[in-house]
Structure 1
Amino acid sequence: MLEVYWGALSFGVIFAIITIFFGDIIGSMFDGIFDSLFPEPWSEPVILVGGVTSFGGTGVILESYTDYHANIIVILSLFAAVSLSGVAYFVYVRPMKGAENSAAFFIKELIGKQGEVIIPIPAAGYGEVLIKTVGGNTSQIAACNESLDIPAGAQVVVRVVRDGVLYVSRKAENVEELV
């Protein structure tokens, strides 16, 4: 049984070395294949190979340094493989999947968004507005769309984006201002 453990451990180590040097090339060659073969989130190749490697490593250690019966060693090795794979999934893979979402935005997406003036906008100049986006807050250079002074703290709406500058209008506070 020691040969099986060494084989599993060797497979994992070789897989890790190949992944370090050729991971990007292999990943692009097999892009999407693992997603269709293993649709479950716990079936990521890094989790499966990590489980095989920990199974082999635990088996080698227990076989070499204990007097446990072979069945007990297999059970303990399987337990170690499942446990370490679970830890790897919850500590590494799952958080990394969440980190793949981008907080980036296109400045044109800010048209129609509301914000607050943080640096006053003069009638013939530039100020700055703070706008909440999906990824957090962004402050952008702004100018008044109607050539009016807009004080700091005023609520504004982005009307147009030209040359990286947001052209804003004061947000109407009530219905009578809209008429």
Structure 2
Amino acid sequence: MTFFLGLGIAGIVLLALSLIFGGVLEGMLDGLFDGLLSLPVIAGFISMLGFGGAIVLSTTGAGPLVATVAGVAAGLVAGWLTWKFSKALMRDQTSSTPRGGDLVGTSGTVVTAIPADGYGEVMLRLAGQPVKYAAKCPTPVVRGTEIWVEAELSTTSVAVRPVER
């Protein structure tokens, strides 16, 4: 029974290590543990082999061989479920991260007046969130004017023009 409990605990320790140092451990082993043989799958298998064997050994009169077979079966199920769950998580894609280039063609409002020879500030919406950008325009633009973004000059500044209605 002690052997099975030791396996179960070793599997949990391996799972914790794979969660904390997973990238490092798998990087050191250079693709050896990809997909079906990933560290979380192996950890799930070892844990369930140990704990399943310990449960069978302590609750039935069966010997170590039957407990090992039951533990391996439970470990295979746990490993397979871990593999399927991790595949589902890896397929889960979120929308792309917004970038400043996504602002071209959007409208906003001048927050700080834009002089003809310098920068002012505009309030734009990036992914639904209000964001302030430095703005440059060939003509002076007063505060409160609606503007149109023509180009991204840098990660924090844009070229704009007043909206004509």
TM range (shorter): 0.5 to 0.7
- Post-superposition offset of 1:31: 5.3
2:159 is the counterpart of 1:160? no
TM-score by length of 1: 0.58
> Which residue of the other structure, out of 28, 32, 39, is the alignment partner of 1:45?
39
CA RMSD of aligned residues (A): 4.3
Q: Is the 1:142–1:168 Cα contact (8 Å) retained in structure 2? A: no
Q: Which amino acid aligns with 1:58?
A: G
Structure 2 partner of 1:127: 122
SS of the residue aligned with 1:147? coil
How far apart in 1 are the matches of 2:37 and 2:134?
48
Listed as ranges, the gaps of 5+ residues in structure 1 are: 172-179
Q: Work out the number of aligned pairs and report it.
A: 155
Q: Is the 2:145–2:162 Cα contact (8 Å) retained in structure 1? A: no
2:71 is the counterpart of 1:77? yes
Q: Is the 2:11–2:46 Cα contact (8 Å) retained in structure 1? A: yes
TM-score by length of 2: 0.61
Aligned residues: percent identity? Answer: 14
Q: 1:16 to 1:129 in 2, by over 3 A?
A: closer
Listed as ranges, the gaps of 5+ residues in structure 2 are: none
How far apart in 2 are the matches of 1:50 and 1:141?
49
Spell out the pairing of 1:1-179 with structure 2 (5 A cutoff): 2=1, 5-15=4-14, 19=17, 24=21, 28=24, 30=25, 32-39=27-34, 41-67=35-61, 73-91=67-85, 95=89, 103=97, 110=101, 113-117=104-108, 119-120=109-110, 122-124=113-115, 125-131=120-126, 139-149=131-141, 151-152=145-146, 155-161=148-154, 164-169=156-161
**Per-residue deviation, residues 111-170 of structure 1 (Å, max 9, x unmatched):** 8833231x33644332212245xxx86734242422354844x542224238x3323346
Q: 1:86 to 1:168 in 2, by over 3 A?
A: farther
Q: 1:83 to 1:157 in 2, by over 3 A?
A: farther
